Amino acid sequence: MTTTTKVSICLPTCNRPELLVRCIESCLMQTHTNIEIVIGDDSHDDRTAQLVTSRYGDDPRIAYRRNVPALGQAPNVASLFERASGDKILLIHDDDYLLVHCIETLLAQWSRHPDLEVAFGDQYETDHDGRIMHAASERMNRAYHRTPSAAGLQDPPGRAGIVQMFPNNGWLANAALVKRIGYDDRYGTCCDYVFGTRLCLAAKRVCYVNEYVSCYRMTDASVSQATRRSINASSISAWQFLEGLALPPDLEPARRLARRRLVPIVVSLLARNREARAGLQLALGNLYAYRFGLSPRLYYHLLMIWKATRRPREEPVAPRGIDHGVDASRTRMP
């Protein structure tokens, strides 16, 4: 299908040419063909540049740029938004990929809701080799409040971002709005969550489509996996961002729902990193996140906190390494 609506697919990549090919091919196979693929490469060597040149050098739909020096996760994405020339923008990370009807499905929502600004759907979860894990996919979408009963326009729109219903990539949005929001580097590894929340808060209308449109690949090399046990984990940054948000009264229930998921993760991280007092205060101050003591997880975390007070003080766990090509807002609960 070809329409007059041009879609800019923004694709940040870093050191993963072996995964990038499938991502690019999924973009080129879209049933909506009026696209450009804007690639920002933060790789430390020439492998990705050589691959893109040899396979796609003559394809006018692909606009590749090597960042020297590397920009970093958020600045790389921000630079892609600036380079995008389409009416709509879609973000996809280099280890993930789109289903062939992704853009067509999401773009169709503008015909139903002309004043729409943001649309997103469900994500499949895949293993490292890209094989879809159906049961895990259902659990993931349910955990992020993407269910059949939630389909349609979101009211209020900002709720979709706050509770992490809005996905890290595979979404479609008006280019003008995306460029106005931009990617904020101040929150480190949770920049995807910060962007999604701010985008939905700023949008007039946000639509969720209860249909799979993209695939999220589980890898050990992601930012969220590399830092997930450290004090630099994305959940810590997400918590700080969430607590600092100035929200109208109608969005406070969404903040409370987001806290319910984040509090146990942050308490666990604080305990692992010898921040026992902070972890205890957070747990006791948000007991509803533990079903007011009915969740065994509370007592497990209290045990972790107690053990942290008994061990000699050590340096916080350091992250193992960071790449800039993936999302960090999807840290799994410990």
Residues of the chain with CATH 3.90.550.10: 7-225
Q: Please, which pLDDT band fits residue 319 given cuts at 50, 70 and 90?
A: very low
- Interatomic CA distance for residues 93 and 70, integer angstroms: 16
Average pLDDT over residues 58-84: 97
Position 195 scores a pLDDT of 97
**Mean of pLDDT over the chain:** 90
Q: Determine how many CB atoms are found less than 10 A away from the CB of residue 200.
A: 27
Residue 108: Cβ-neighbour burial (10 angstroms; 0-12, 13-18, 19+) = middle
pLDDT tens per residue across span 28-57: 999 999 999 999 999 999 999 999 999 999
Query: Considering only 85-99, 186-200, 225-239, 297-311, which range has the smallest mean pLDDT?
Result: 225-239
pTM of the model: 0.88
Q: Determine how many CB atoms are found less than 10 A away from the CB of residue 241.
A: 18
pLDDT tens per residue across span 254-310: 999 999 999 999 999 999 998 999 999 999 999 999 999 999 999 999 999 999 988
Q: Which of 279, 291, 179 is nearest to 235 (CA)?
A: 279
Q: Which of 329, 167, 188 is nearest to 261 (CA)?
A: 329
pLDDT tens per residue across span 202-219: 999 999 999 999 999 987
Position 220 scores a pLDDT of 66
Query: Considering only 181-185, 193-197, 253-257, 328-332, which range has the smallest mean pLDDT?
Result: 328-332
pLDDT tens per residue across span 99-120: 999 999 999 999 999 999 999 9
Average pLDDT over residues 133-151: 97
Position 71 scores a pLDDT of 96
Is the CB of residue 233 less than 8 Å from the CB of residue 199? no
Average pLDDT over residues 223-236: 60
Position 49 scores a pLDDT of 97
Position 233 scores a pLDDT of 78
Q: Is 132 helix (H, G, I), strand (E, B) or coil?
A: strand
Sole residue written with tokens 């996996």: 225
Structure token pair of residue 319: 């992250």
* CATH topology classification for 7-225: Spore Coat Polysaccharide Biosynthesis Protein SpsA; Chain A (3.90.550)
> Amino acid identity, residue 166?
F
Position 144 scores a pLDDT of 96
Percent of the chain surpassing pLDDT 70:
88
Is the CB of residue 288 less than 8 Å from the CB of residue 263? no
Name 138's Cβ contacts closer than 8 Å, sequence gap at least 6.
Answer: none
Position 318 scores a pLDDT of 43
Torsion angle defined by CA atoms of residues 25, 91, 62 and 185, in that order, rounded to the nearest 10 degrees? -130
220: DSSP letter: T
